[in-house]
Amino acid sequence: MNRTWLLVLVLVAGCGVRPTEVLDGGAAPVISPKTTFATVYLLREDRLEPLRVAAASHSMDHVMAALFEAGSRTEGLSTALAGLQWQSSQLTRFGVVRNDPENADGFRLALFISGGARVTRTALAQMTCTAMRQRQDIWAVKITRTAHGGPVSLGEHTCREFWDLAAEGRQLPR
């Protein structure tokens, strides 16, 4: 018999190991993530009040989503974000404004929202101060509403311009 045919015969015959029945390995492992908390700003009598709420993570998109959801489920506090929907965020370098190489560049955070509700000064304050509370290296927050006619800029803000809206005894981020 030819060696080639012998090799083919061995390959076709298999390795001689019989298959086994399906074995039950028990329940699948379950990962229980720890709850992450973030500080967002809601309103008490039209004043910014910090509140720790559960968020999926510390990413800005998750924190902002928690802000938009928190107003509808928190007793005693309200929101100026009703009728608006959170979409996304984008972090970009602000640019070098300091001559000190020890200091890192700051960032500009672009927030994108949609919805037909009027965007009030308190709504801008809630978004801006919540974002700046999360990261100290965010120097400005640019808010844009996306609409059918195209994006509409709602300006670039810092929390400092909303300090007059702080609840009594509360201090807002820079």
Which structural domain range is residue 114 located in? 36-92+104-165
What was the pLDDT predicted at 161?
96
**What pLDDT is stored for residue 59 in this prediction?**
92
Structural domains counted in the chain: 1
Instruction: Please report whether residue 8 resides in a domain.
Output: no
Q: Which residue has the higher pLDDT, 79 or 27?
A: 79
Residue 160 has pLDDT above 70, yes or no: yes
Burial of residue 28 (CB within 10 Å: 0-12, 13-18, 19+) is exposed
What is the overall mean pLDDT for the chain? Answer: 85
pLDDT band at 43 (very low <50, low <70, confident <90, very high): very high
Q: Across 9-18, 19-28, 45-54, which has the greatest mean pLDDT?
A: 45-54
Under the banding of pLDDT at 50, 70 and 90, the label for residue 27 is confident
Q: For the segment 62-114, what is each residue's pLDDT rounded down to a tens digit?
A: 999 999 998 767 778 999 999 999 999 999 887 655 555 555 578 899 999 99
Q: Residue 14 falls within a domain, yes or no?
A: no
Q: Is the pLDDT assigned to residue 142 strictly greater than 70?
A: yes
The pLDDT value given to residue 101: 55
CATH number at residue 65: 3.30.70
**Is 133 inside a domain boundary?**
yes
Asked whether residue 7 is assigned to any structural domain, the reply reads: no
Burial group, residue 55, by CB count within 10 angstroms (0-12, 13-18, 19+): buried
Asked, for residue 6, whether it belongs to a domain, the answer is no
Sign of the torsion angle spanned by Cα atoms 163, 135, 107, 113: negative
131, part of any domain: yes
Q: Could you tell me if residue 99 is inside a domain?
A: no
Per-residue model confidence (pLDDT) at position 33: 66
In a domain, 28, yes or no: no
